[in-house]
């Protein structure tokens, strides 16, 4: 049994981590750390946790405590999940790492390797260049070996995970033009976090649908970095991916409909499908969808799966990817990364 901590458990990714970790055979939540002055009981913050905070290794203490690396270390914690704001993550990760505690960071703090790009996208300085340098991008399907030996893993964004899983096999095989990619995405409202904002009330966002952050969303540079890094290198001045997210009137789930043109000749759906199947053969959390029905949110909600499908129309390619933004897009993938970092079965606790 490995004790773990959650820093920032009062947001939706923190709640989702707890929901999954109570079922994990080997991890036990030993410390809940909050920056709030009045530290809540997590089962009062989220009544749905009442009576359920018990892992295979005994009861989980529902009381949140201060963010205190020494106390976290004293609790025997070997790995910490950071569900903090970006700046707080950069602030606390160094101390935890210095205390010998591995870190899976669910914020964006360590995702973008180029600090200038990060700072432009997120609007604040990056204050931890040292750890940024060795942080590993936590996309196991494309970076598994590095994750295994990493001490700090930057858990990917929800949109970038779906985009990467769908697009990378096409890029890697040189089938599509990297300058032609459009990621049209739609996400449930939990992706916007737990804070009450005027456009996120039921009246405003229920029964509604709209685009936002067209071409300027923070996940666009992350998607670009992932495509450039794990796919085919892009010609120097080729145009980048165009990312257009939309807000869906649902709690959870992301569907991306991705458009690209081939690198020349028309391609057959069957050939593209084969590429996907080869890329993800044996992957436990990627389901390549053959047949007529394409992925839906319902196919992936409350699971750690990504479903992908592909269609070709002459020189045009359409990829569809679906995942649960709180699971494979956040907390599930975080556990997948933790499993790798701690030497457990990658699928442990993720059934």
Binders in 29-58 for a copy of itself, by CB under 8 A: 44, 47-48, 50-52, 54-55
Residues 175-214 that bind a copy of itself (CB under 8 A): 182, 184, 186, 188-190, 194, 196-198, 200-212, 214
- What is the spatial distance between Cα 32 and Cα 80, in angstroms, rounded to a whole number? 10
Q: How far apart are the first and last CA of the chain?
A: 18
Binding-residue total with a copy of itself (CB under 8 A)? 76
Give whole-number Cα distances, 218 to 12, 223, 247, 262, 268, in Å.
19, 9, 15, 27, 33
Which range touches a copy of itself (CB under 8 A), out of 62-70, 92-100, 140-148, 296-304?
Answer: 296-304
**Shortest distance, position 54 Cβ to a copy of itself, whole Å:** 7
- What is the spatial distance between Cα 317 and Cα 299, in angstroms, rounded to a whole number? 22
Q: Does position 299 bind a copy of itself by CB under 8 A?
A: yes
Residue with tokens 């905070």: 53
**What is the H or E stretch that residue 4 is in?**
strand 2-7
**Shortest distance, position 73 Cβ to a copy of itself, whole Å:** 28
Residue with tokens 């990364």: 337
Known active-site residue 158? yes
From the list 224, 301, 333, 339, which residue makes contact with a copy of itself (rule: CB under 8 A)? 301
**Shortest distance, position 130 Cβ to a copy of itself, whole Å:** 35
Q: Does position 320 bind a copy of itself by CB under 8 A?
A: yes
Q: Does position 114 bind a copy of itself by CB under 8 A?
A: no
- Residues 209-248: x where in contact with a copy of itself by CB under 8 A, - otherwise, as a string: xxxx-xx-----------------------x--x-x-x-x
Contact 74, 45 (CB under 8 A): no
Residue 344 in tokens? 């457990």
Nearer to a copy of itself (CB atom), residue 150 or residue 162? 162
> Interior CA angle at 168 toward 142 and 231, to 5°?
80
Catalytic residues: 158
């Amino acid at each position: 049994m490995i004790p773990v901590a959650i820093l920032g458990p009062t947001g939706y990714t923190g709640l989702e981590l707890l929901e999954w970790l109570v079922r994990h055979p080997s991890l036990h939540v030993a410390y809940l750390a909050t920056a709030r002055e009045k530290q809540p009981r997590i089962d009062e913050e989220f009544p749905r946790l009442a009576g359920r905070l018990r892992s295979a290794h005994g009861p989980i203490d529902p009381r949140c405590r201060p963010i205190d690396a020494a106390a976290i270390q004293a609790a025997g914690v070997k790995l910490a999940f950071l569900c903090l704001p970006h700046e707080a993550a950069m602030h606390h990760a160094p101390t935890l790492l210095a205390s010998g505690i591995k870190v899976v960071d669910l914020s964006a703090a360590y995702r973008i390797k180029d600090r200038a790009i990060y700072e432009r996208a997120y609007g604040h300085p990056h204050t931890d260049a040292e750890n940024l340098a060795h942080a590993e991008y936590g996309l196991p399907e494309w970076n598994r070996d590095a994750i295994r030996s990493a001490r700090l893993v930057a858990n990917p964004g929800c949109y970038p995970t779906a985009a990467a899983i769908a697009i990378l096999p096409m890029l890697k095989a040189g089938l599509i033009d990297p300058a032609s990619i459009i990621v049209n995405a739609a996400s449930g409202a939990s992706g916007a976090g737990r804070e009450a904002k005027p456009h996120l009330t039921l009246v405003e966002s229920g029964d509604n649908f709209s685009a936002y952050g067209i071409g300027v969303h923070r996940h666009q540079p992350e998607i670009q970095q992932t495509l450039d890094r794990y796919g085919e290198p892009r010609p120097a001045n080729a145009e980048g991916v165009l990312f257009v997210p939309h807000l869906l009137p649902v709690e959870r789930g992301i569907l991306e409909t991705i458009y690209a043109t081939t690198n020349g000749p028309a391609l057959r759906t069957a050939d593209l499908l084969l590429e996907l199947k080869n890329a993800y053969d044996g992957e436990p959390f990627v389901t390549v969808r053959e047949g007529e029905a394409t992925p839906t949110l319902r196919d992936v909600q409350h699971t750690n799966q990504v479903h992908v499908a592909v269609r070709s129309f002459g020189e045009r390619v359409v990829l569809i990817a679906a995942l649960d933004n709180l699971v494979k897009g956040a907390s599930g993938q975080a556990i997948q990364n933790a499993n790798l970092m701690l030497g457990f079965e990658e699928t442990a606790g993720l059934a």
